[in-house]
A and B are shown apart, each in its own frame.
Chain A
Amino acid sequence: MATPPDFSSGAVLTAAQMNAVGLWLVKTQTIGTAVSSVAVTGAFSSDYDNYLITVAGGTHSTGGQVFNLQMGSTTTGYYYSFLYTPYNTTPSAAGGANVAKWDYVGACNSNGLQALIDINSPFLTKPTSYRSTVANHTNYAGNCAGLLNNTTSYTGFTLGLSAGTITGGTIRIYGYRN
């Protein structure tokens, strides 16, 4: 079978073909009105080792802010490095060591919420790591990566904001097939 599989109209999909699907939607969470954070439960399990979290649509009350992320109820042991530029050729950086959350995991713009967050090993009893991209309107853009320095198994997370509130939009959690 070719990779990716080449299906034809009306074809019966075999187990082998379905088992080759790499990304499965685990959960969809609609964001409410004027919320400062969204906790999502039942996101991670033994079904998958690695996950993709996306945020799209919605609005931020002012724009120009960023998402942050906490795993479960853990408020210590987060490490991250954020490399960015204010849309020029001079690199800048921000970071945190043993802080309370991962900052800079997505952008909160007044005309849309944007996040693509890869999470490695959240359910396994191993350190959890992540990578994300941030394009904060016309302010700056960059890439962030980090580690949560413990071996706790997590089933959920909380998406927070640097400031302000968000309304609408959708959080989607996908599992990468093991």
Chain B
Amino acid sequence: MTIDEYKTLYPQDSVYIQIDDTERLMTDEEYETWVIQSVYNINHPLP
């Protein structure tokens, strides 16, 4: 999966960070970090 494909699957305005009972959208920096880590993990699964 590519970064662009992942961003299409999970647009920034559709993913939330939850703190106890409160949810908020990610900042730009949080979203970019999350996308890069997620795509790496998807592309490198355990055998």
**Which A-chain residue is minimally distant from B31 (CB atoms)?**
A36
Report how many residues on chain A are interfacial, defined by Cβ distance under 8 Å.
Answer: 28
Once the chains bind, are B15 and A39 in contact (CB under 8 Å)? no
Once the chains bind, are B20 and A35 in contact (CB under 8 Å)? no
In the bound assembly, the distance between CA atoms of A11 and B43 in angstroms comes to 58
Contact partners of A39 in chain B: CB under 8 A? 17-20
Contact partners of A86 in chain B: CB under 8 A? 46-47
Partner of B15, one of A36, A38, A40, A65: A36
Partner of B38, one of A31, A41, A162: A162
Q: Known contacts A86-B47, A92-B47, A140-B46; is A36 also within 8 Å of B17 by CB? A: yes
List which A34-88 residues lie within 8 A (CB) of chain B.
34-41, 61, 64-65, 84, 86
Q: Known contacts A35-B23, A86-B47, A140-B46; is A163 also within 8 Å of B38 by CB? A: yes
Residues of B in contact with A, size category: 20 to 34
In the bound assembly, the distance between CA atoms of A39 and B21 in angstroms comes to 9
**Which A-chain residue is minimally distant from B23 (CB atoms)?**
A32
The contact string, 1 if C-beta is below 8 Å from chain A, for chain B 18-47, is 111101001000000010011101100111
Q: Known contacts A36-B34, A86-B47; is A163 also within 8 Å of B42 by CB? A: yes
Q: What are 23 A-B contacts with C-beta separation under 8 Å?
A: A29-B20, A30-B21, A31-B18, A32-B18, A32-B23, A33-B23, A34-B14, A34-B16, A35-B18, A36-B17, A36-B26, A36-B34, A38-B19, A39-B18, A39-B19, A84-B46, A92-B47, A94-B46, A136-B46, A161-B38, A162-B38, A163-B37, A164-B38
**Chain B interface (Cβ < 8 Å from any Cβ of A):** 6, 10, 14-21, 23, 26, 34, 37-39, 41-42, 45-47
